[in-house]
Amino acid sequence: MVLVEHTSMESKKNPDSGRKMSNESTKNKTNIGSRRNFLRATGAGLAMASVAGCMGGGGGGGDSGLTIGFYGPFSGPASNIGEQKQMAAEMSRDMINEADGVHGQDVELVFGDSESQPSAGRNEVNRLIQQENVDVIGGGFHSDVALATVEVTGRQDTPQIIDEAVSNAIVTKINEQELWNVFKTTPPSEAYAVGWRQLLEQFQQNETGYFPYEDRTIALIGEDTSYGLSIMDLMETELDEIGWEIISQDEVSLDATDFTSLLSRIQSNDPDVVWAVQTSSSGAGNLTRQFSEAGFEETHFFHNYGLTISDARETAGEAANGAVTMLNAGRVDSLLEEQGALEAWNERTDMDMTGSAALSYQNIKVIAEYASAFESLEAFRSASVEEWESTVLEHDPIPGGSGYISYQDNHQAAWGSTDSQSALGYQVLDQELNLVWPSEIATTELDTSVY
């Protein structure tokens, strides 16, 4: 599926958790020494690129503006998310162009459909570079797909800023294979696991809902993608730290919708909490609905990511009331309002702006900011990978949709506090998401009347 969007001017805190998560962010850096110091020592920030070291892409050169290749799941099980991501990317492009573009030139987007499949994502990114001659690659959703695309951009030295993919395997691959053209924005899987651990501690301490629990037992359900499995694996360490016992751990396929037998088995073990991680809206909605029909008593249902999507909540219906869902980074309204992004979104659509949309708006903005940091578009296109890397690492934090974006030496964006990107917990009520955690930045208190 080929989607090309040409520019059109007309269309145009939780302080304690932040401290802990900031430590986690530092701890999980790959031990590669200080990339920033190395770049300073070698003078990589100087505008002196050799032809042999130039980055790939090219955008056609001449008088053409910055061309961004943006890939995502525009068909397949996550196509509803892809639709919002495309809308947000287009909105970001138009806002940039209305503000005189990048180096006075309009930004152009060219879309590629990953179909939620690594092979399709790899092929589309290759097409965007080889046939569409894009300058830089943005977008991304599934971690499996992102892992495939970095091989393509790395081989061709094309700048890439990954949008929403989460798995730590991406940062590991960047550092082990020295893919210094690639940066990853969304906080890693640890941000989810650390967030859930902190939320469980707070709910237990505050006797929230059915809490406190004496046995502290939990059943885990994970989508069989690198995203789902990596987060479920990380939950083990965090749960062990606070004395919670995992009584079952199950994998489900990306396209699964019938969980009745699985839930029946889990219900027979009488867990205190059932926790799941899914990206498929159909899967998340059906799991939530079937959970409410399975006969659980005084058991909380926590769902990682999936219920943040309106389609999933619609599928679940009233069964979603009281469920708690989490984003490792989400829509920060105060920042979006300051940038005029929420107003621009509401002028375009009646749909609520999801966290995915906020991240894609941010992705295009961040790419444009880094390209603008070069003296000209030609300087950006002719820069070496080292110059691109240095420009990104040395740039001031950029206000975006999920926080303030700046990249660490291991090419992972900073995370773990409201000064960077913070995990956010929501309670679902009447199809709406209500920010209830961390309590210091929550917009509403958790409604315990539904329990």
Structure tokens at 167: 């798995």
Residue 45's pLDDT is 39
Task: Determine the average pLDDT of the residues in 56-84.
Answer: 85
Does pLDDT of 16 surpass 60?
no
Beta bridge partners of 102: 105
Name the residue with higher pLDDT: 305 or 42: 305
Cis before 438? omega within 30 = yes
Does pLDDT of 48 surpass 50?
no
4 to each of 98, 248, 348, 349, how far by Cα in Å?
A: 20, 46, 19, 21
pLDDT digits (tens, 9 = 90+) for 361-377: 999 999 999 999 999 99
What confidence category does residue 244 fall into, taking pLDDT thresholds of 50, 70 and 90?
Answer: very high
Q: Cα–Cα distance between 416 and 317 in angstroms, integer?
A: 32
Stretch among 5-14, 300-309, 352-361 having the lowest mean pLDDT:
5-14
Residue 299's pLDDT is 99
List all residues 6 or more positions away from 155 whose beta carbon is below 8 Å from its beta carbon: none
Helix (H/G/I), strand (E/B), else coil: 187: coil
Query: CA nearest 290: which of 304, 272, 303, 309?
Result: 303
Task: Determine the average pLDDT of the residues in 417-433.
Answer: 92
Place of tokens 């969304």: 186
Q: Cα–Cα distance between 378 and 66 in angstroms, integer?
A: 10
Does pLDDT of 257 surpass 70?
yes
Question: Residue 96 carries which side chain, given as an amino acid letter?
Answer: I
Domains, the chain, in order of start with CATH, read 2-188+332-405 (3.40.50.2300), 190-327+423-450 (3.40.50.2300)
241 C-beta neighbours (distance < 10 Å), count: 12
Does pLDDT of 41 surpass 90?
no
Does pLDDT of 411 surpass 80?
yes
Name the residue with higher pLDDT: 230 or 210: 210
Question: Residue 219 carries which side chain, given as an amino acid letter?
Answer: A
Q: Cα–Cα distance between 413 and 421 in angstroms, integer?
A: 9
Cis before 212? omega within 30 = yes
Contact 14, 97 (CB under 8 A): no
Residue 59's pLDDT is 58
Task: Determine the average pLDDT of the residues in 130-141.
Answer: 98
Query: CA nearest 373: which of 394, 404, 400, 402?
Result: 394
Name the residue with higher pLDDT: 127 or 423: 127
Does pLDDT of 25 surpass 70?
no
Does pLDDT of 46 surpass 80?
no
Q: Cα–Cα distance between 202 and 220 in angstroms, integer?
A: 20
Name the residue with higher pLDDT: 130 or 227: 130
Q: Cα–Cα distance between 26 and 38 in angstroms, integer?
A: 18
pLDDT digits (tens, 9 = 90+) for 258-277: 999 999 999 999 999 999 99
pTM (2 d.p.) = 0.72
Cα within 13 Å of Cα(392), Cβ side: 30
Task: Determine the average pLDDT of the residues in 167-192.
Answer: 95
Q: Cα–Cα distance between 149 and 122 in angstroms, integer?
A: 5
Residue 396's pLDDT is 98
Residue 222's pLDDT is 98
Pairing verdict, β 432-437 and 67-72 = unpaired
Size of the chain in residues: 451
List all residues 6 or more positions away from 280 whose beta carbon is below 8 Å from its beta carbon: 77, 78, 223, 254, 255, 256, 306
Residue 416's pLDDT is 81
List all residues 6 or more positions away from 115 whose beta carbon is below 8 Å from its beta carbon: 1, 73, 74, 75, 76, 121
Task: Determine the average pLDDT of the residues in 373-396.
Answer: 98
How many Å separate Cα 442 from the centre of its chain?
20
Contact 31, 175 (CB under 8 A): no
Residue 55's pLDDT is 67
Cα within 13 Å of Cα(340), Cβ side: 9
What confidence category does residue 115 fall into, taking pLDDT thresholds of 50, 70 and 90?
Answer: very high
What confidence category does residue 56 fall into, taking pLDDT thresholds of 50, 70 and 90?
Answer: low
303 C-beta neighbours (distance < 10 Å), count: 27
Structure tokens at 269: 């073990």
pLDDT digits (tens, 9 = 90+) for 303-327: 999 999 999 999 999 999 999 999 9
Stretch among 102-106, 181-185, 382-386, 419-423 having the lowest mean pLDDT:
419-423
Contact 238, 265 (CB under 8 A): no
For the four alpha carbons of 82, 88, 90 and 96, in that order, the dihedral sign comes to negative
E strand segments, 140-243 = 160-162, 182-184, 217-223
Contact 331, 402 (CB under 8 A): yes
Average model confidence (pLDDT) across the chain: 88
What percentage of the chain reaches a pLDDT higher than 70?
86
Does pLDDT of 21 surpass 90?
no
